[in-house]
Structure 1
Amino acid sequence: MRETALSAAHAELGASFTDFGGWKMPLKYSSELEEHHAVRTTAGLFDLSHMGEIRIVGPDAATFLNTALVGNLAAVKIGKAKYSLICREDGGILDDLIAYRIDEDEYLLVPNASNREVVAAALSERAAAGPAGNTASADSPTSSDSPTSSDSAAPEGAGFDVEVWDESEGISLIAVQGPVAQKIISSVVRANETFLVEELGYYAFTTVSIGGDEILLARTGYTGEDGFELFLPNDKAHALWLALLEAGSDDALVPCGLACRDSLRLEAGMPLYGNELSTERVSFEAGLPVVSFSKQENFTGRAALEAAKAEGRGKTSGQRLVGLKGLGKRAGRGGYPVLAVEGAAAGETVGAVTSGLPSPTLGFPIAMAYVEVEHTEPGTRLDIDLRGKPQPFEVVPLPFYRRAR
């Protein structure tokens, strides 16, 4: 397994490790429940260095990303970020990612750890293919009738004027999440830069000085709480990790592993690739309003997504991702069948759980599941089949938890 630059620091803190996407990552340090509650009440410190960092640079950067991704990246202002998807020609989701606009002709993309190499390869291939996007690639259909078959390949030299750099191996990513995250970050930056932290908006970034180093500081998050992410070279990561632990010691900052990160993101109704998102799903089923049909570029998957929208996929046909609130004490887990309770379909399987657990914050079981659209109205009673024992749930709007502003 790959290790982050902070692996030794995690071991010193007594972390239990797990394999996550080929990376040796801390699962928890002491109690995952304590770590979960710390993020909700004070703050948690996360090592996210397994995530990818892919830089797109060149005169065609904005146009290229508008062709490669489903969102309108050209409309993103410098210093801002946007959540988007990279899809296959059939509309299936290759990955969800965040794109930061560093400059007019420069973006930084942060894909999921397990998909980083796939995303980097797809971006490189699409950059070489050019605006037509007609070159067959590993992430698109290969049948002879595919719109990306080599029969209509773009001519040589027709690619976008951009460079795609996968910088993941050299960059560490550290996050501080929780109600006192801003206070902790402000305490470690240069004194005359605290205003940069305090004035930083959601889904925005800036550059700050910490210990003499220039660090990219973003304010996004995957926990449902206020939070910050810090991008820096691997050789600077250990010093920053220790500095943050020291700065947060009076505010009950604790190091946190992937276990509580999963329970936090589920309470916040945030999808996880491999659970809620996959190549078998399209954005409309997942309830992600991120596809821009108003932009002029013929982005990869556009035709398929237009057809899916026209047929009401995820709205009037097929399945839709919903939240399920447990009415009993037992929680559903990924893959468990969801059963109809009422009407002609009573007792029939109408979906499947993608993620589920007892909510530490709310005190009852929660789950996300793909369910046939006719059974997705809030308040609808459904059962989750827990190994032959149906347990009662009801459909509720997402997210389950929303922090006080």
Structure 2
Amino acid sequence: MAQLKRTPLFNAYKAYGGKTIDFGGWELPVQFSSIKREHEAVRTKAGLFDVSHMGEFEVKGKDSLTFLNKMMTNDVSKLKVGRAQYTAMCYENGGTVDDLLIYKREEEDYLLVVNASNIEKDFDWLESHVSGEVVLTNVSDQTAQLAIQGPSAEIILQKLVSDTVLQEISFFGFLPAVNIDGITALVSRTGYTGEDGFEIYCKAEDVEKLWVAILREGEEEGLLPCGLGARDTLRFEANLALYGQELTKDISPIEAGISFAVKTQKPEDFIGKDILVAQKENGPARRIVGIEMVDKGIPRHGYKVYSGDTVIGEVTTGTQSPTLKKNVGLALVQEEFTAIGTEVTVEVRNKPLKAIVVPTPFYKRPKK
């Protein structure tokens, strides 16, 4: 049996009550207290996540922009220094290699942040397409990442930062060298929870000190260490796609509902462009929608969705929403059944249960 990978914070989990599970080959905390308590903390106060399992690649060189625009669905030429961009990489058939963030640190200097389960696959895919003067480096092992999320995230982190006003970092903006309690880190106003907050990138050897310092400083604000369980329910309520569920090698970004990250009008050709152009112009044959259960039952990943006796799709993610207290799901269904209010049936443990197509996201954070 293969040894599970561990982040540099693994030894710190036990002190905070972390319960670990196998997550795509990584031994990671599913929770520290309870999923519902951690979920509620992020929605009302703040939560701190170890996301050091994510992958980081550097792309440098005078042809880096040309290379990235060939590989990505978004228009990387629009990215300014100090800004991050959400994008996807696709295969020729329009299926998704991965969804990721690109940080433009300087001209000809980019940082890519990819999903943990895809690190090797993504690096090999990128490396196989490198041309011109491009230096591609996998720096995942040297890099750690924390995410502090929630309405109090800025207040807490600012206590540890004296030389930067965090309020000045706009959504999807970042600063490459912020001093946090003596540790230099890249800090971006990004996240995967539907709340305000920051993602913090530092050297692997510095992350435990940073974790302890942030939790100590945030204690009086109600900050909790959070695991993968709450991260999943939070991103699900905010309708943020998860690779392996809403996005796969067989599901395109258009079908998954992230067409905003597919710029078919950019002049450069990119991998999968022809298929994605056709899906944008004609509409995809199937699409991710929100469903809410009418009958009592929870729609889980992989459950079949029916119209009458006909299978029309399947659930990609589903749970009881901790915020809404409703049983809801995301489902990939045929286009003709995607209208709001459409009645469908979900097969839950061999029982047909009624559900209805509803708007997404299920949760939007209140505006300040």
Structure 2-normalised TM-score? 0.96
* SS of residue matched to 2:324: coil
CA contact (8 A) 2:56 2:143 kept: yes
1:218 paired to 2:218 = no
Name whichever of 296-305 and 81-90 sits farther off. Answer: 296-305
**Residue 358 of structure 1, CA deviation:** 0.3
CA contact (8 A) 1:92 1:278 kept: yes
1:333: which partner in 2?
300
In structure 1, give the amino acid aligned to 2:355: F
**Residue 285 of structure 1, CA deviation:** 1.0
Q: Distance in 2 between matches of 1:24 and 1:313?
A: 40
Q: Distance in 2 between matches of 1:226 and 1:248?
A: 16
* SS of residue matched to 1:248: helix
* SS of residue matched to 1:216: strand
> Residues 124-163 of structure 1 correspond to what in structure 2 (within 5 A)?
124-127=127-130, 159-163=131-135
1:261 paired to 2:228 = no
User: Percent of counterpart pairs with the same letter?
Assistant: 41
* SS of residue matched to 2:212: helix
1:45: which partner in 2?
48
1:236: which partner in 2?
206
Residue 78 (structure 2) aligned to one of 60, 75, 78: 75
* SS of residue matched to 1:101: strand
**Residue 50 of structure 1, CA deviation:** 0.3
**Residue 313 of structure 1, CA deviation:** 4.4
CA contact (8 A) 1:71 1:85 kept: yes
1:300: which partner in 2?
271
2:310: which partner in 1?
348
Show structure 2 runs of 5+ residues with no match.
none
Structure 1 stretches (4+) deviating beyond 3 angstroms?
307-310
Q: Distance in 1 between matches of 2:256 and 2:111?
A: 25
In structure 2, give the amino acid aligned to 1:379: G
Q: Distance in 2 between matches of 1:329 and 1:364?
A: 10
Q: Distance in 2 between matches of 1:244 and 1:329?
A: 41
1:136: which partner in 2?
none
Name whichever of 385-394 and 109-118 sits farther off. Answer: 385-394
1:403 paired to 2:365 = yes
Residue 55 (structure 1) aligned to one of 53, 58, 64: 58
**Residue 329 of structure 1, CA deviation:** 3.4
In structure 2, give the amino acid aligned to 1:218: S
1:116: which partner in 2?
119
Q: Residue by residue, what CA displacement relative to the aligned partner does 1:208-264 show, whole Å, maximum 9, x if unpaired?
A: 111222210011111111110110001110110000001100011000000111111
**Residue 15 of structure 1, CA deviation:** 0.9
1:323: which partner in 2?
290
**Residue 388 of structure 1, CA deviation:** 2.3
1:188 paired to 2:160 = yes
In structure 2, give the amino acid aligned to 1:347: D
Q: Residue by residue, what CA displacement relative to the aligned partner does 1:182-208 show, whole Å, maximum 9, x if unpaired?
A: 101111112x32x2x111111111131
RMSD value, Cα:
1.2
**Residue 282 of structure 1, CA deviation:** 1.3
Q: Distance in 1 between matches of 2:153 and 2:271?
A: 38
In structure 2, give the amino acid aligned to 1:333: R
Q: Distance in 2 between matches of 1:104 and 1:50?
A: 27
**Residue 303 of structure 1, CA deviation:** 2.4
Name whichever of 206-215 and 115-124 sits farther off. Answer: 206-215
1:370 paired to 2:332 = yes
Q: Distance in 2 between matches of 1:219 and 1:257?
A: 20
In structure 1, give the amino acid aligned to 2:234: L
Q: Distance in 2 between matches of 1:304 and 1:338?
A: 26
**Residue 328 of structure 1, CA deviation:** 3.4
**Residue 304 of structure 1, CA deviation:** 2.8
Matched pairs, number: 362
Look at both structures and tell me which one has the larger radius of gyration over its CA atoms: 1
Q: Distance in 1 between matches of 2:107 and 2:235?
A: 32
Q: Distance in 1 between matches of 2:114 and 2:183?
A: 25
Q: Distance in 2 between matches of 1:329 and 1:198?
A: 44
1:135: which partner in 2?
none
1:199: which partner in 2?
168
Q: Distance in 2 between matches of 1:375 and 1:397?
A: 13
CA contact (8 A) 1:329 1:364 kept: no
CA contact (8 A) 2:91 2:272 kept: yes
